[in-house]
Amino acid sequence: MSRVGCHRVLDKGDARWHVEAEGLEGRLMKRKMGPILLRTGLLTVGLLIGCGGSASRDHNAQPPNSTGGTAGDPAGAAGENATAGSAAAPSGGNGSGRGGRGGGGSQDLGGSENLGGSENLGGVEDAGAPPVLMLPPGCKPRTPAESAINCSLAVDCDASPSVRTYCYRLDSGLWDCQCANQESTYRVENVAGLQACAFAASLCSDEKLELGAEKCEQTEAVSAPDSCTMDVACSKAITLDKATDARAWQVRFGSARCIQADTARSFGCRCAIGPVASEYSLVADSGEQACGPFADFCMSGAPAVYDSEEQCLPMYFDSDSAGCGRTEACGPTMPLADGVSLAHFESRFATCAPRPGGGSECSCPGHDTAFQFRLSIPPDEASCESSIPNCNPGAVIKTTGAASCEPFALDTAGDDECQSNLHCLQGATVDNRDIVAEGTLGLICRRAGAGKPWVCSCRSDQKTAQFELGAVQADATQACTQAPAGCLERVGVHIGPVGDPMAPPDPSL
């Protein structure tokens, strides 16, 4: 077992500690001390799990409040028996119980950076000996170290692996403890110093702790119209042996952070529970409303389920004589509270340009696709705003009339082949909103030679067809003029988002 050295660092009045573990892969790094020590990470030092068990249980423990005391205790009363730097001796004095009433003294380090340590713990208690530590049967302490505000202790057991614990004294007198390579944090009362570290070793090694219902409370909150932060501590009371005066809670810490995005009412939020963080988009009128509901969602650990009504928030608008353009952040939501929702946003963009004869020719350009349609109103803020819902990839598009197509490109390759691309218009609705949708149709016609029948193929997006036109007397231009009717009959026109045009299949195959 490598020896761990602890020392106290004073930095502008803040108490900090640093534990260095030589020969171990992990290291407990310098942490800012406060009411919620060890809220942000796993201890990455050394050895896993420990020893011991428990007997009958007492259900009277209450969760600590935001000051580090106990719910229902008068201010300052919680932890008054856990004096700084003292190790409480267990009742009975044999070291086999889980806890005991404070009363034993401990080494006074006087703020020295070198923590005192002794291998001679767990022996017979007398006036000049250290207190007997509350360890499970068959377990012995190694490399103990403590100061007025922290401790560390390695525990070796006959029938289980070693475990190392680290504890820090809160301003309330309670102690927060962790064991190497374990995520759980324990808050303990009526034990202090090395006794707290020993007590934590029993908690960490007990795989069948009886836990009460979890209670969460804010420990710190700051909010403004454009941002907010909130720290939360959640605790579960641990049922302990009736013979001990110690009390304990399993504690976890989380935080919620929200900052307003470029879009009004849109916030980028970060949820952190220990070392695990997740990012979310949130809709709220103000940062002063955002963090409370978001922190509750964050600490619940529930997944986000976006199955409520879609919301869109304006991001950008521009208009001139050439037309208009508008961008919005849109997506389905998950309500958290009145006026506060998570949202799964994506940006949508619509453009409209003036069309000869009046109205607008509009488009929803995407990454690889575009949806084109016509509106009866001119290109202005109203037309661009009304176009954004049509850009929803989940919108329901239905055709309401027959398509009409006009060629915009016709090519002939000699007397026996022609190609034509057509622009088509068709009445349609998008989520029951009337539009005139635009689409394209491509075709190729080919024959084996003069007097032979024409064979044509056509494509509109992914829909294709091939058929024999006949018309042996038609020339190439006539064949591609007659073929669209057969294409519309067989494939119609794709209405909706479409990618780059693709060539029709080879009609010879």
What are the extents of the domains in the chain?
Answer: 1-214+235-250, 215-234+251-309, 399-490
C-alpha 382/C-alpha 416 separation (Å) is 50
> Does residue 85 surpass a pLDDT of 60?
no
> Which pLDDT does position 103 carry in this prediction?
33
> Does residue 349 surpass a pLDDT of 50?
yes
Dihedral angle over CA of 184, 189, 195, 199, nearest 10: -40
Residue 141 pairs in a beta bridge with: 155
Q: What is the pLDDT of residues 451-478, one digit of tens each?
A: 899 999 999 999 999 999 988 899 999 9
Query: In which element (H, E) is residue 140 found?
Result: strand 139-146
**Are 317 and 324 contacting, i.e. CB atoms less than 8 angstroms apart?**
yes
Q: Which of 151, 154, 147, 150 is nearest to 122 (CA)?
A: 154
**Are 5 and 20 contacting, i.e. CB atoms less than 8 angstroms apart?**
yes
Token pair in block for residue 199: 């007590």
Overall average pLDDT of the 310-323 stretch: 91
C-alpha 429/C-alpha 495 separation (Å) is 10
Handedness of CA 445, 446, 447, 449 (dihedral sign): positive
Q: 354-393 burial by CB neighbour count: b if 16+ within 10 A, else e?
A: bbeeebbbbbbbbeeeebbbebeeebeeebbbbbbbbbbe
**Are 191 and 99 contacting, i.e. CB atoms less than 8 angstroms apart?**
yes
Count other Cβ atoms within 10 Å, centred on residue 447.
24
Angle at 71 between CA 164 and CA 33, to 5 degrees: 40
Q: How confident is the model at residue 136 (pLDDT cuts 50, 70, 90)?
A: confident
Give the 3-state secondary structure of residue 333.
strand
Q: Which residues does 128 contact at the CB level (< 8 Å), separation at least 6? A: none
**Are 308 and 332 contacting, i.e. CB atoms less than 8 angstroms apart?**
yes
Lowest average pLDDT, out of 116-125, 227-236, 308-317, goes to: 116-125
> Which pLDDT does position 106 carry in this prediction?
32
**Are 154 and 179 contacting, i.e. CB atoms less than 8 angstroms apart?**
no
> Which pLDDT does position 130 carry in this prediction?
60
Count other Cβ atoms within 10 Å, centred on residue 277.
14
> Which pLDDT does position 182 carry in this prediction?
82
**Are 427 and 404 contacting, i.e. CB atoms less than 8 angstroms apart?**
no
Q: How confident is the model at residue 115 (pLDDT cuts 50, 70, 90)?
A: very low
Report CA Rg, the chain: 37
In order, the DSSP letters of 442-463 are EEEEE-SSTTSPEEEEEEETTE
Token pair in block for residue 43: 């201890």
**Single pTM value for the model:** 0.62
Q: How confident is the model at residue 263 (pLDDT cuts 50, 70, 90)?
A: confident
Overall average pLDDT of the 286-308 stretch: 94
| Ramachandran sector of residue 43 (left: φ over 0; alpha: ψ -120 to 50; beta: rest) | beta
pLDDT: which is higher, 45 or 406 = 406
C-alpha 59/C-alpha 209 separation (Å) is 12
Lowest average pLDDT, out of 55-69, 226-240, 366-380, goes to: 55-69
